[in-house]
Amino acid sequence: MSTELLAAAHAPSAYDFALQNFELAAEALELTECTRSLIKYPERVLTVNIPFRLDNGDIRRYEGYRVQHNTSRGPAKGGIRYHPGVTLDEVKALAMWMTWKCAVVDVPFGGGKGGVIVDPKQLTLPELERMTRRYTAGIAPLLGPQRDIPAPDVYTNAQTMGWIMDTYSMMSAGGYPIPSVVTGKPLSIGGSLGRAEATGRGAFHTLVSACEQLHISMKGSKSVVQGFGNAGSVVANLLDGHQSLVIAVNDSRGGVYNPAGLDIPKLMLHKERTGTVVGFAHAEAITNADLLTLECDILIPAALENAITGENAHRVRARIVAEAANGPLTPEADAILEGNGVFIIPDILCNAGGVTVSYFEWCQNEQHYYWDLHEVENRLERVMNKAFKEVLDIHSDRKVGMRLAANMLGISRVATATTARGLYP
Ligand code: GLU
């Protein structure tokens, strides 16, 4: 088969993109082949079979994964995703991004990620619990407060983390609680105040810094949010609270648009009641494709990977693109947007608020001492502002895009730690 045919048969995955971006940063940092080979590939990859009982007594099975990309700076850290589109390559990419992300905000964790190929909306709550417990039992040999610490991601939440914490505690400690094995737990079993909003709040802090840098007034600016989940709804609410007009938002079922600005608190209530933003009063319907190309100051992709590609990037009319999602831009889209002068706040910086407060939660669990919301939010703001400045400095000093700058910062920290530990045996 010719190389062209081979390329066409194998459409690039998020993992291919992650490797491509790794190589760009490794070149810019002049990393040796030896260092690259130590930090480029996942340390461990586990595939598990997940049989469990449905409510009607039948057995269903799914496949799940846990990938530990790198643990040189600390235990593996990263969410668990339930989605029908999960692939092992996707989980490998997400795990790698977690490694660089933790290093960018300088929290002492490595990178990991988990995923199950499942549409959780098709399961009842008891089915979801049995599936989660069986998946946890499968990946339990990798987990532990000093080894690998899961958290929520797409379509998992605090309740999912509660089941994981309980299953792990039952299996390894006769039920005595081991709260620091997961973060993003319910408050009643050791969760942290401010964790649920942390990804959106962290993204908002990076937007404040970006607006300052570009002399854009947030008050009166226009913003668009793709994805109204945990990250998107929080950042939309904060923008609305700071007088940015949020003119359009969507979720997997469709979008709503109002050029005069949507009433975000009311929209959140509507979503809580109906499960979707679709059908919200005082707004017209808008497709996902049209939403991404609306003229605005701030565009926030807060859903899944590959939202903006070579196909639609040239139609994007935003001044800032803030990646609350992981991997929403392909490298081709990156190049087009950068060429058009769009300021990109890359995912490993923009959405790092989630893992930052996960780190705070883990610290509180390990210390058995709990902080108030004010303390969590202040510390989060300090971490995000410091990381933004460090990435911006590389961007200006080295005259590279913000994504390359963030990758250079994260990857250089991981490379330094790896070199300090040396090569075993
Ligand atoms: N899933 C989130 C992320 O992609 C949070 C990970 C964590 O808190 O460990 O950053």
At 270, is the secondary structure helix, strand, or coil? Answer: helix
Mean pLDDT over all residues of the chain?
96
Residues 257 and 341 in one domain: yes
Pocket of ligand 1 (CB under 6 A): 77-79, 151, 153, 183, 326, 351, 354-355, 358
Residue 259 confidence class, pLDDT cut points 50, 70, 90:
very high
Q: How far is the CA of 210 from the centre of ligand 1 (A)?
A: 22
Residue type, 85: G
The last residue of a domain, from among 296, 328, 350? 350
Residues 240 and 340 in one domain: yes
The last residue of a domain, from among 316, 350, 384? 350
Alpha helices in 256-401 (DSSP H): 264-274, 288-292, 331-339, 347-350, 353-367, 373-397
Q: How far is the CA of 283 from the centre of ligand 1 (A)?
A: 32
**pLDDT of the residue at 1:** 47
Percent of the chain with pLDDT over 70: 98
What pLDDT, in 10s, does the model give residues 117-145?
999 999 999 999 999 999 999 999 999 99
Residue 10 confidence class, pLDDT cut points 50, 70, 90:
low
What pLDDT, in 10s, does the model give residues 266-279?
999 999 999 999 99
Q: How far is the CA of 47 from the centre of ligand 1 (A)?
A: 20
Assess if residue 334 is contained within a domain: yes
Assess if residue 261 is contained within a domain: yes
Residues 232 and 170 in one domain: no
∠ Cα 283 287 291 (to 5°): 80
Examine the pLDDT at 4 and tell me if it is beyond 70: no
Residues 229 and 331 in one domain: yes
**pLDDT of the residue at 354:** 98
Q: Which of 153, 192, 350 to mutate to test the pocket of ligand 1 (most atoms within 8 A of CB)?
A: 153
Residues 333 and 246 in one domain: yes
Residues 295 and 244 in one domain: yes
Question: What domain range includes position 223?
Answer: 198-350
Ligand 1 atom at minimum distance from 184 CA? 8
Structure tokens at 42: 């996942």
Residues 171 and 52 in one domain: yes
Q: Determine whether 101 is an active site residue.
A: no
Contacts 24+ apart (CB under 8 A), 233-236: 233/200, 233/264, 233/268, 233/271, 234/197, 234/199, 234/200, 234/201, 234/204, 235/200, 235/201, 235/203, 235/204, 235/207, 235/300, 235/302, 235/322, 235/324, 236/200, 236/264, 236/267, 236/300
What pLDDT, in 10s, does the model give residues 219-237?
999 999 999 999 999 999 9
Percent of the chain with pLDDT over 90: 97
Q: Which of 98, 101, 182, 234 to mutate to test the pocket of ligand 1 (most atoms within 8 A of CB)?
A: 98
Q: Which listed residue (77, 92, 113, 222) is catalytic?
A: 113
Q: How far is the CA of 152 from the centre of ligand 1 (A)?
A: 6
**pTM score of the predicted model:** 0.96
Examine the pLDDT at 3 and tell me if it is beyond 60: no
Residue type, 219: K
Contact call for residues 319 and 216 (beta carbons, < 8 A): yes
Number of domains comprising the chain: 2
Q: How far is the CA of 175 from the centre of ligand 1 (A)?
A: 26
Structure tokens at 138: 């499968």
215 Cβ contact partners less than 8 Å away, ≥ 6 residues apart:
none
What pLDDT, in 10s, does the model give residues 186-213?
999 999 999 999 999 999 999 999 999 9
Ligand 1 atom at minimum distance from 153 CA? 1
Residue type, 381: E
Examine the pLDDT at 175 and tell me if it is beyond 50: yes
Ligand 1 atom at minimum distance from 101 CA? 10
Residue 390 confidence class, pLDDT cut points 50, 70, 90:
very high
Diameter over CA atoms, the chain: 65
What pLDDT, in 10s, does the model give residues 99-117?
999 999 999 999 999 999 9
Ligand 1 atom at minimum distance from 359 CA? 8
413 Cβ contact partners less than 8 Å away, ≥ 6 residues apart:
73, 103, 104, 106
Query: Which CA distances in Å does 323 have to 82, 176, 183, 300, 304?
Result: 20, 39, 22, 6, 10
Ligand 1 atom at minimum distance from 183 CA? 8
What pLDDT, in 10s, does the model give residues 314-370?
999 999 999 999 999 999 999 999 999 999 999 999 999 999 999 999 999 999 999
Q: Which of 82, 105, 199 to mutate to test the pocket of ligand 1 (most atoms within 8 A of CB)?
A: 199
Q: How far is the CA of 319 from the centre of ligand 1 (A)?
A: 26
Examine the pLDDT at 2 and tell me if it is beyond 70: no
Which position has the token pair 């499968």? 138
